Amino acid sequence: MKLDKKDLLLYGVTDSHYLNGRKLCELVEEAILGGATMIQIREKEMSHEEFKQEALEVQEVCQKYHVPLLINDDVKLCKEIDADGVHIGQDDLDLKETRKLLGEDKIIGVSAHNMKEAKKAYEDGADYLGVGAIFSTQTKNDAQDVSMNTLNEICQKVDIPVVAIGGINQVNVLEFMGINLDGVAIVSSIFGSEDIQKASSLLKDKIQRIVSNKMPTCLTIAGSDSSGGAGIQADLKTMLANRVYAMSVIAALTAQNTTGVDAIYDVDASFVASQMDSVFTDIYPMAVKIGMVSQKEVILAISEKLKQYHARNIVVDPVMVATSGAKLISDEAIDTLKENLFPLATVLTPNIPEAEVLSGLKINNEKEMLEAAKYIGDHYHCAVLLKGGHQINDANDLLYKEEKYQWFKGKRINNNNTHGTGCTLSSAIASYLARGENLENAVKKAKDYISGALAAMLDLGQGQGPMDHGYVLDKKD
């Protein structure tokens, strides 16, 4: 049979360690009833004849439900029982030789750990790739770790179906959101479960949503602005305007309007952590924007959850200093940001006063912007978008990334209603990262968006009013 990409959606790989006195064919049938779309049988400890008998029993179940059966590594057994195909590793039989032995009508999958192996497998005629191990796994001692970035690159550049393998479970499967996968291969989270059918059903539902999802997802972690011009409210509006599905974790509540902040109510760190659990375990965000977080315990909770869920595309707007130059958070909180949150960031977006605090340098001109951006980027091992303004230049922003500088020119717009510009820019960058743009393009498009929001000249409130975040809604993309 020839491979149908749908067969790869939930690819169950057997392991006899989970039999617990039961027959493998019984476990396989439960997995298929729960939603497994392909079965790979592997056995390293049986004799050939014992493995053959087991494989024939599993094959009968697979044929009953019209689910393809692949044999792991054993081309001879595949031919003997006329299985649907084989999956081979990098150290197994040569792919071209395997194809000669099995013929064109059999499925051949190949394990790959990097782009070079993936391209060679494609050129040699593999039907699909199994890429991993993505997460640590106990079922294969010689598994090589593969990063999510490598997986994503292979999915984008190699023109055959790709399944992710290695340590995948009910929670971390959602981390594939935004990666153009065709399916996942799973061992223990199916066959090691107390209820194999239920586990398979839940996993299939989640991977189906990932594979079919066309809406980028983005999370903001920040404070609430009751006037709607900054913080969580500005972020949600910005994300919607830039066509991503927006979610929020509220780290603080404020009573404020265009004339100032009247009161702040900090959210407990454990509740911030609970909000993050709820988001990450259901609708995994493809990017995360973090705004003002002023409490040490909250910062620590956020950092731990970002690491726990392997969050990516993290945009940190280090809100520490007001336009007047006054510090907004304590020295202890700033130190916690530096030590725990900044090293996780994809990009930091400080303004001039914030960059002075982070670098310890005075910034009075563009040359000093270059020096400060380099110091911050090298010190925290992330990209830095140092925002201009503050009478240094006409809203020209500087991106420092991996020893390279890029200026993003901006035209100063004569609009005093600039409440929430920092929140808006950082959440727009996160939106475009969620949509798959590289950082440079994300910054450019975010600056274009914020320029349009300012140029719309919205005029609300008695003080420094908000921008028109929704100005793009009447325009075509």
Binding site listing? 40-44, 72-73, 92, 111, 137-140, 167, 187-188
**Which residue among the candidates 421, 424, 447, 465 is catalytic per the annotation?**
421
Provide DSSP, 319-381.
--B-TTS-B-S-HHHHHHIIIIIGGG-SEE---HHHHHHHH-----SHHHHHHHHHHHHHHHT
Q: What's the order of all strands across the beta sheet hosting 245-257?
A: 260-266, 245-257, 217-225, 287-290, 314-316, 347-348, 383-386, 397-401, 404-408
470 part of the active site: no
**Which residue among the candidates 34, 228, 388, 422 is catalytic per the annotation?**
422
Q: Which residues are annotated as a binding site for Mg(2+)?
A: 73, 92
238 part of the active site: no
CB 107 within 8 A of CB 150: no
Q: Which residues contact 404 (CB under 8 A, 6 or more apart)?
A: none
377 part of the active site: no
Beta-strand ranges (E) seen in 55-99 are: 69-72, 85-88
CB 267 within 8 A of CB 296: no
**Which residue among the candidates 420, 424, 447, 465 is catalytic per the annotation?**
420
**Which residue among the candidates 150, 418, 424, 465 is catalytic per the annotation?**
418
Q: Which of 300, 289, 295 is nearest to 328 (CA)?
A: 295
5 part of the active site: no
The torsion angles phi and psi of 260, rounded to 5 degrees, stand at 155, 180
**Which residue among the candidates 237, 289, 296, 387 is catalytic per the annotation?**
387
Beta pairing partners, 138: none
**Which residue among the candidates 25, 78, 382, 423 is catalytic per the annotation?**
423
Q: Which of 434, 438, 42, 5 is nearest to 218 (CA)?
A: 434
423 part of the active site: yes
Q: Which residues contact 133 (CB under 8 A, 6 or more apart)?
A: 140, 143, 144, 145, 146, 165, 166, 167
DSSP label at residue 14: -
220 part of the active site: no
The separation between the first and the last C-alpha atoms of the chain, rounded to the nearest angstrom, is: 43
At residue 270, what is the residue type?
Answer: S
3-state secondary structure of 214: coil
- Please give the positions annotated as active site: 387, 418, 420-423
